[in-house]
Amino acid sequence: MYILNPLTARLNYVETPKNELQEFFRRFLIALGPRTEILADVVRTDARLACWSPDMTPASLETRGAWFMSNVHTRPRTEAEIFAIASKSPYALPVPPRTLTDQTFSLAADVGIYFARVLMRLHPELQWTLPLGSKNFVDYGQPVIQGFRGGALLNPVRIATNVAYGISSGKRYASRLRELIDVWSANAQANDIGSQRQES
């Protein structure tokens, strides 16, 4: 039975005190290994993936991607949710009537964590960080990875959640996470080359 990730409760990061965000970050880092094992257990409940191993290789994301596609689910938004979203937007855009289920948000977080661990195994120089500068920054207060070209930051949970939204809209995203590993890996390698040239 899949255990929901307790760290996926959608915080209002901007309004959460910094000390609470730092505690959240600490618990997030501690949970990286355990959440991967929980995710591996639920993946292996699929008879086709009974021997799947979280070996932190890009290839392991290929089978994981197909599994993720079949486990993305949505639910109708309540009127209160639609009103709250619409009232915060400066534009008169229609609010999608459906959103991801809590379990899908949780799975996306765990898939994002695994995505990050694969990438960081390929590039050990990458590091987790918690941006607490400007509250206007889109990933303020959320765990991100640093060490990319141009100072770019990667929010792997956001990446996986966006993939889940894409799947829910009908996109065939079985290989999307594997493709994104290549994209971000190239970004990290470019940064490595630049650093080596500066040192020489």
User: pTM above 0.85?
Assistant: yes
Of the two residues 93 and 184, the one the predictor is more confident about is 184
pLDDT surpassing 90 at residue 16: yes
The residue among 144, 154, 138, 148 whose CA lies nearest residue 187 is: 148
Residue 79: inside a domain, yes or no?
no
**Element at 144 (helix H, strand E):** strand 144-146
Q: How confident is the model at residue 200 (pLDDT cuts 50, 70, 90)?
A: very low
CA distance 164 to 115: 14
Number of domains in the chain: 1
So what's the pLDDT on residue 196?
45
Cα-Cα end-to-end distance for the chain: 53
Asked if 97 and 82 touch (Cβ cutoff 8 Å), the reply is yes
pLDDT surpassing 90 at residue 67: yes
Residue 191: inside a domain, yes or no?
yes
Residue 156: inside a domain, yes or no?
yes
Residue 84: inside a domain, yes or no?
no
Note down the domain range covering 126: 18-74+104-199
The mean-pLDDT minimum among 58-62, 156-160, 187-191 falls in: 187-191
Residue 119: inside a domain, yes or no?
yes
For CA atoms 7, 9, 10, 12, give the dihedral sign: negative
Residue 128: inside a domain, yes or no?
yes
Question: Mean pLDDT score of the chain, rounded to an integer?
Answer: 91
So what's the pLDDT on residue 89?
81
